[in-house]
Structure formats: structure tokens, C-alpha cells
Amino acid sequence: MDMRPIVAVPADRRYLDPHAYHMVGEKYLRALIDAADVLPIIVPALPDDIPSDELLVRCDGVFLTGSYSNVEPQHYAGKPSAEGTLHDAARDGLTLPLAKRALEEGVPLFAVCRGYQELNVALGGSLHQQLAVVAGYHEHLENKKDPLDVQYGPSHQVALMEGGLLRQLAGSDSASVNSLHAQGVARLAAGVTVEAVADDGLIEAFRVDDAPGFNIAVQWHPEWQVTDNEFSTALFKAFGDACRAHAAARQG
């Protein structure tokens, strides 16, 4: 029996009155199973009890999901968030150090939406908290009254950078992507290479230059109906292949 590589998927910590729960959207788990062919393991957002090194020695990849919560602005010296903004301090406490250690240790890392923003912050970058009020950018947030297929449907084009991983996987210099985010990169972290830029100039994908392992971070949601989109499927497969290579090396 072939053993699939294990991928750590940090959870959101949410209250369903009166208890706290640790949750991951099924669409991410299905994409990892169906397109990356890996075994996703949900990691509870208990940062004081789950040291990054202890987790990474047992895993072959890390996947950072999207979420309705936002990274707390204190992590990038940002202004206090608008009233009513959903935060998840427990997830921040787990993912920010975990992402950096995964990169340092060469553990394959794939980050999506909030995960993309987390990685930028973990590496010293900052975020626009409300893109809609920043001059020059169009609306990137979905209309939550629309059906899910419309919310996650194609929204705008991204230019894929020459020589980049995403252009290689897409076989094209551009791609149509969905858009479901209110926040975005303000100051891009140092030591990364831009992989994709939206039609309004917003940076929407990057990879970390000196990390010894596979890594990619995208602002959109390739997990949505992944097997119906060749580009998304190729992206998850590339991550899965990197996890398989890491597993083979880890097991000797």
C-alpha cells in the first residue's frame, strides 16, 4: 500500500456558543485529497501546545487555507481594525511561526488567500486592511448574496510573470481567477519573487526566493472545484509532487 504524504492544515479557532471549535473548510481538504493526492491532517490552533518543529518533523507539507478572519494588524504594525472585523489570534499564533519554520526546513508550503496574507506578514510584509478604499484598486470582495458558483466564479485576469512557476503550470502568460478578499498586500515582504499581478496592479501571488523547498502563495482560491480547472489542478499536483519528494527524502 502506497502511503500518501501527510500535509498539515492549520485550523481556524471559532466559537459555536458555548464552546471553541477548530475548523477547516471541506473544500480545501477535498482539493488536497483529489488534486494533490495527499493525506491532509487538521492541526488545532493551539500555538502554545503545538511547537512548529515538533509538527514539521512529522509532516511532508503545510497548507495554509483561506478564512473569513483577518490577520491581526499588530503583527505588521498596522492601524487597529475597523469595528466588527473578525480576527483569530490563535490561528495567527500557530501559522505565522509555522510558515517561517516550514520555509527554513524545506517543507513544501502552499498558501491560499488568508494563508497568502499570513505568509507575507510572517516574512515582514504588511497588508491593506480595506482594499475598497485604496485608490487604484477595484473591488476584490465577493457579493455574499450571490450563489456560491457566482462568488467563486472568474472575476479578473492576473498576469503570470515570465520565468515563474505559475506561468509554467498554466502554460500561458495570464489566467482568469476568482476574487474573494477584502484585504491585500500593501508592502511585499523582502526576499520574494512576484508570480502574478491582478489587472489593477495588486500583487496576487509570490514565492520565497531562498527557501530550499517548494513554496507558492496565491491570493485567489484555486481549491474551488479544483478538478474542473486545469490550472488549479496543476498547481495542487505540483504541491503534491513536492510533498511526495519530501516524504521520500524524510523516510530515507
Q: Would you give the DSSP letter of residue 79?
A: P
113: annotated active-site residue? yes
- Catalytic residue chosen out of the listed positions 128, 223, 243, 246: 223
- Dihedral sign for Cα atoms in the order 122, 124, 125, 127: positive
Query: Considering 113, 142, 195, 243, which one is annotated as catalytic?
Result: 113
HSE of 197, CA atoms in CB hemisphere, 13 A? 9
Separation CA 181–CA 138 (nearest Å): 11
Determine the Cα–Cα distance for residues 181 and 242; give it in Å rounded to an integer. Answer: 28
Active-site annotation holds for 138: no
Question: What gap in Å lies between CA 147 and CA 143, rounded to an integer?
Answer: 9
Nearest CA-CA partner of 242 in 199, 204, 211: 211
How far apart, in whole angstroms, are the C-alpha atoms of residue 171 and residue 158?
14
Active site residues: 113, 221, 223
